Structures are given as structure tokens and as C-alpha cells.
Amino acid sequence: MATLEIRDLHVSVEAEGGPTEILRGVDLTVKQGETHAIMGPNGSGKSTLAYSLAGHPKYTVTGGTVTLDGEDVLEMSVDERARAGVFLAMQYPVEVPGVSVSNFLRTSATAVRGEAPKLRTWVKEVKEAMARLEMDPAFAERNVNEGFSGGEKKRHEILQLELLKPKIAILDETDSGLDIDALRIVSEGVNRVRANGESGTLLITHYTRILRYINPDHVHVFAGGRIVESGGPELADKLEAEGYEAYTKGGGVS
Amino acid sequence: MAEAPTNPVALAAESTVATRMSAPPSFDVADFPVPTGREEEWRFTPLERLRGLHDGSAAATAGGSVKAEVTTPEGSGVTVETVSRDDARVGKAGTPVDRVAAQAFSAVEKATVITVPAEAVLTEPVRVSVHGEGGVTFGHTVFRIGAFAEVVLVLDHTGDTVRAANVDFVVGDGAKVTVVSVQDWADTAVHCSQHNALVGRDATFKSVVVTFGGDVVRIHPRVTYAGPGGEAELYGLYFTDGGQHQEHRLLVDHSAPNCRSNVAYKGALQGADAHAVWIGDVVIQAAATGTDTYELNRNLVLTDGARVDSVPNLEIETGEIAGAGHASATGRFEDEQLFYLMARGIPEEEARRLVVRGFFAELIQQIGVPDVEERLIAKLTAELERSIA
């Protein structure tokens, strides 16, 4: 059973006045089949947590551990983490000019699965996954994220999630910038992956809106670079009613 | 056949393009002073690595050789002649604009004239391959494309030589010509070449300059229009490795009305002292109303220690044009792209290859000659394997 364990994680970024600590001791365990929502105000360090887990070079881990089924994630390069089963759906997916979506998806699936998927089944697999996300087949021939609308970018992220079937899916503000239709389609994609029961999901969000579509098992409030309160779905209802004010009195980070 | 205007580069005296030249265009090397490196047109070029092409010493020791082959499609009617430099057909598309081009013209005794008959539509390319076998060599090749002919010309440069050579393209009215010039020299070669295209009325001239090899490569693609309605597309692709100097200096001289030009050059650089230079001059003369022109240069710097000089220059002497613009950008390899691809499990080397191939892909798709496109992709892949691995 896949388990991501984060223990006392401290992370800094290089800022003008020297290194600035953003994460100040994060503890969290995400197991296969579970969905954890991490909610917090802007600047609380939620995205830093997401990018640190994926291994973005901008962030320096200064303390703590992250393991996936006992393996040291922090020792792995970015691509090794992805192949080990960590997937980050990004808030701002990057344009890669001249690289088609179909080429990108196949290259990625080949790397993660350890062998090139058989062409015939692969084409069908992609086509069906795209249809479920209500994506035009012509989309596959466009360059990765180039000229995509906000909704197209997020659907493309979830398409990858569905195809790569990670052990741990980290969704960084996947709901931001989506209209209600796109939010529904994207959420349905996430729910299909959850329904397989093979992935653990870490849903990072500022708003409670997406939780109407994706029901978390656990809700955590993130403030000042750490988890300050954990609970069940009822905690989201409280946040919806009261906002983050109670958690930000000490001031957020950055 | 189109004939060159008597003074194809009749620029205003205050024009930057004119003032950059050390001397007016001339076929005689003696009309140009020996460059010192301080001249605007030479300031980016490492003169000491030209092996004497610029100061007469190379010409004095000429005696190298190249193996040159011309392949023409069977039954195409294309003729290949070796003629004296004094032949009336030589030097009609343009005049040497710097000392090395004039040196080439002054040093050659024979020129090759390749003629594509009017209205011939060739399904296979005409290929000219030049393989350097050491030493100093000079050359002059003339392509005469008859009216309404359609042809692809492929010029291949391989091997090792110190070479100055001029190439003329006289493009007849309504003809459609694609030229692909590949500089795939050995790492020690030196190559300076002025490409002169004289584009006939309503003709289309597409030039694709691809530079991979050589110690110093300096190419001068130039376009003038013999009549209205002509169209020129100038594409370039270079991959500059450590220690290489690759310089592309373009001029599009809009002297006739309603002509179009589009320039797009892209280069990737990798390694210490890789140096790419791109000069893009576009002149729209007062008579060239209705001109539509755009030029672009993009560079992707893959490692520290590489240097790019990119200078677009647009001179407009009439307001009655359809459009004119330019863009130049030099970017570092984008770490965010690398992160995105690696976060999908793609190993770093493969991710870099994807990004670099992607950077060139759009340009390669513009070539429109499938076998050339495939070859370039293969070549690019090989270059990437060699330098990134």
C-alpha cells in the first residue's frame, strides 16, 4: 500500500535578503486511496509544499524527511520522483514550443511505465481519456500548453494524471481560474483516478468550491508554513463559513 | 531572364547599411582596404581565424582542392557549364560587398553556371556538393532559373577547406525556387560566402541556410528584386558549438513595389566561446510601396560561456507599405520547461533534446521539402546527441 510520509519538513528559498524559510515543519501522511485537502490563505506555503515534493530546484530542503513507501524522495532527482509515482498537477503549466501534446504524452508515459506503450492500445487509451475530459482530438497535435486557455491547461494536467496513474497525486490549485463547467470536468477526472483506489491525492486549494465535487477524507489548514489544524470534511465547512482569519493573526509567510 | 538593376544597392548615403560598408560594392579586391576588425562589418568576426582570406595571404598560397559534384535530375533539361569568370552570366545577381567576397571573385578563374530552363518543373532537387580536401579554395556558382520554373536546389558543404565562394541566384519571372545551403564542415574549416539572389517579377525565392560545422562560417544571404510582386523567404538554422564562430548577415533590399520578405533565423549555442552573429538588414526604398516584410532572430543559449550578437535593422524610406517589423530575442534554456518535462518522468537529457528540437521544429516545418526536413531533424538529433550527452 503506497504511503507518502512527510516528517518535520523545512524548506527555504533564496530571497533578496538571503535564504527565507517557507515551510516550518510540515507533518503529513498520505496513504493510497485517501484524499487530503490542504487549504490555506495566499502565501501560507501551500504551493511551496507541492513544488518541494516534486523537487523544483528553486526550493532547498533544510530539514525533515519525505519518503514514499520507505524510499527517500528527497534523494531523488525530479524525473526519478515522477517515475517513483509522485505526480504534480501544476497551477501554471509551462509552455513547451514545438513539442506536440501527443509526443509529450507518449514520451512521458514511456518514461514512467518503463517501456513504450504499444502504439495501438496507446492511441485508443489517449483518445478515450481525452473524450472523458471533453477535449477535442485536434488538441493532441497542438504544442504543449502553447496558447492553451486556463481550462485547457488544467484539463491537460488531469489528462496526464489519468494516463500516468501515479501513487501520489499532488494537485496544486487545479481549481483556480476554472469556470464551473471546466471545474466539473476536471473534478470528474480526479474522481475517476481516486475511484481506482490506487492513488493517494493531495488536493491543494485556496477555495472550498472544488470540495463540492471532490470529497476529501481529511482536511488540513495550512498557515505560516505548517499544518495548523486537521480534521474531517466538516473543517472545510467551517472554513467556508469563517474564512482563514482565525489562522492568519500571526501573519502569513511572505 | 531577369537582369540586375545597374546599381542594385543604391542606398541613401546616410543609410546605416551603406555606412557600415568599408567600401562600395566591387568585384575587385583592391577596391577594399584590408580590414582591421574595427569596421562595423567586421567587428564581430575573428579576423585572425580567417586564415588570410581577408588580407590577400590566403590567395597567395591558394592550392587547396574541393571535390565538387553536381547532380541534376534525369531529363530535366538542366545544364551545367564551366565558364570563364568573364562570362556575361557571372556576377549578375549582385556585387561583392566586402573584401573577402571580392577576393573570391578576383581569385577564381572559372565559374560554374547551372541553368534551369524556363517552365521546367523539377520533382527532384538539383544537388551541388562541395567536399573540402584541405588548403585554400575559391569558388563561384551561378544558378539561372528560367521564368516559371520550379526547382529545389541543395548545396552541401562538408570536409575541410579555407574557402571563399560566391553564389548567384538569378530567379526568372514567376519562378519558384527553394535553396537549401547546408554548412556541415569539419571543425577546422573556414567558409565565407555571399549569396546573391535577384528575384524576378512575381517570383518566389526561399532560402534555407543551415550551419552546423566549421571553425568560422560567415554567410551573407542577400536579396534584391528585379521587378514587382516578388517574394523572398529567408530561413536559417544554426547550432553553434564551443569555439565555433557562425555569422549570418542578411540583406533584403526592397527596391520594387509590392514585394514581400520574411526572415526567420534560429540558433542554439552550447559550449565555451560558441559565438553566433546575426545581422538582419531590411531596406525599403522610396519606390518600394506596398512592401510587406518581417524578420526574426531567436537564439537559445544552452550553457554558460556562449555569446550571441543579434542586430536587426530596418530602414524605411516610404510610408506606403503593407507592413514592416522585426524581432530579436536571445533566451537561456528555460529551467521551467526542463522541470515540467522532468516532473513527468522524462530524464534530463531527453527533456533537453525535446526542448531544443521543439525550438527548431516550427522553422524546419517551413522548409516544405520533406527529405530535407527529415535530414535536418536527423542532423539536429545527431548534433544534440554529440553535445548534450
Grid-cell match 586564415, residue found? B51
Q: With respect to residue A136, please indicate whether it lies within any of the assigned structural domains.
A: no
In this predicted structure, what is the pLDDT of residue B11?
A: 47
Q: Kindly state whether B14 is in contact with chain A, defined as any CB-CB distance less than 8 angstroms.
A: no
In this predicted structure, what is the pLDDT of residue B33?
A: 95
- Contacts of B38 by beta carbon, 8 Å cutoff, 6+ apart: none
Do A97 and B362 make contact, defined as CB atoms within 8 angstroms? yes
State the residue range of the domain holding A24. Answer: 3-93+150-247
Question: What is the chain A residue with the closest CA to B339?
Answer: A56
From the list B325, B327, B317, the residue with the least C-alpha distance to B283 is B317
Q: Kindly state whether A158 is in contact with chain B, defined as any CB-CB distance less than 8 angstroms.
A: no
DSSP state of B367: S
The alpha-carbon gap from A159 to the nearest alpha carbon of chain B, in Å, equals: 12
Pairing of strands B126-145, A18-31: unpaired
Q: How many CB atoms lie within 10 A of CB B5?
A: 16
Instruction: Write the DSSP assignment of B242-281 as a string of letters.
Output: TT-EEEEEEEEEE-STT-EEEEEEEEEEESTT-EEEEEEE
In this predicted structure, what is the pLDDT of residue A15?
A: 87
CA distance A22 to B38: 53
Q: With respect to residue A135, please indicate whether it lies within any of the assigned structural domains.
A: no
Do B343 and A95 make contact, defined as CB atoms within 8 angstroms? no
Q: Average pLDDT over chain B, rounded to whole?
A: 92
A46 touches A222 (CB < 8 A): yes
Do B339 and A83 make contact, defined as CB atoms within 8 angstroms? no
**Strands (DSSP E) along B73-203, which ranges?**
79-84, 110-116, 126-145, 150-171, 176-183, 190-199
Q: Kindly state whether A24 is in contact with chain B, defined as any CB-CB distance less than 8 angstroms.
A: no
In this predicted structure, what is the pLDDT of residue B366?
A: 84
- Chain centre distance of CA A130: 19
Give residue B135's region: left, alpha or beta (phi > 0; psi -120 to 50): left
The alpha-carbon gap from B8 to the nearest alpha carbon of chain A, in Å, equals: 38
Q: Kindly state whether A112 is in contact with chain B, defined as any CB-CB distance less than 8 angstroms.
A: yes
Residue B251 amino acid letter: L
Percentage of the residues of chain B whose pLDDT score is greater than 90: 79
Q: With respect to residue A119, please indicate whether it lies within any of the assigned structural domains.
A: no
CA distance A127 to B303: 38
Do B351 and A55 make contact, defined as CB atoms within 8 angstroms? no
Q: Kindly state whether A79 is in contact with chain B, defined as any CB-CB distance less than 8 angstroms.
A: yes
Report chain A residues whose CB lies below 8 A from the CB of B347: 79, 111
In this predicted structure, what is the pLDDT of residue B15?
A: 67
Domain count, chain A: 1
CA A231-A236-A241 angle, 5° bins: 130
Q: Kindly state whether B346 is in contact with chain A, defined as any CB-CB distance less than 8 angstroms.
A: yes
Q: List the A18-31 sheet strands across, edge first.
A: A18-31, A3-15, A59-68, A71-72
Pick from B299, B300, B342, B384 the residue to mutate for testing the A interface (most A CBs within 10 Å).
Answer: B342
B41 touches B16 (CB < 8 A): no
Q: With respect to residue A110, please indicate whether it lies within any of the assigned structural domains.
A: no
Pick from A99, A102, A156 the residue to mutate for testing the B interface (most B CBs within 10 Å).
Answer: A99
* Mean pLDDT to the nearest integer, B88-109: 96
Do A96 and B344 make contact, defined as CB atoms within 8 angstroms? no
SS (H, E, C) B287-316: CCCCCEEEEEEEEEECCCCCEEEEEEEEEE
The verdict on ipTM greater than 0.90 is yes
A85: domain CATH number?
3.40.50.300
Q: With respect to residue A186, please indicate whether it lies within any of the assigned structural domains.
A: yes
Q: Kindly state whether A161 is in contact with chain B, defined as any CB-CB distance less than 8 angstroms.
A: no
Q: List the helix and strand counts (H, then E) for chain B.
A: 6, 16
Report chain A residues whose CB lies below 8 A from the CB of B365: none
CA distance B216 to B274: 11
In this predicted structure, what is the pLDDT of residue B278?
A: 97
How far the first Cα of chain B sits from its last, in Å, is 50
Q: Kindly state whether B345 is in contact with chain A, defined as any CB-CB distance less than 8 angstroms.
A: yes
- What is the total residue count of chain A? 254
- What is the total residue count of chain B? 389
Q: Kindly state whether A132 is in contact with chain B, defined as any CB-CB distance less than 8 angstroms.
A: no
pLDDT in 10s for each residue of chain A, 254 residues: 899 999 999 999 998 889 999 999 999 999 999 999 999 988 899 999 999 999 999 999 999 999 999 999 999 999 999 999 999 999 999 999 889 999 999 999 999 999 999 999 999 999 999 999 999 999 999 999 999 999 999 999 999 999 999 999 999 999 988 999 999 999 999 999 999 999 999 999 988 899 999 999 999 999 999 999 999 999 999 998 888 888 876 544 44
Pick from B266, B340, B353 the residue to mutate for testing the A interface (most A CBs within 10 Å).
Answer: B340
CA distance A50 to A45: 9
Report chain B residues whose CB lies below 8 A from the CB of A143: 358
Residue A108: which of B337, B344, B358 has the nearest Cβ? B344
Report chain B residues whose CB lies below 8 A from the CB of A163: none
Q: Is A163 helix (H, G, I), strand (E, B) or coil?
A: helix
pLDDT tens figures, B256-270:
999 999 999 999 999
Q: With respect to residue A157, please indicate whether it lies within any of the assigned structural domains.
A: yes
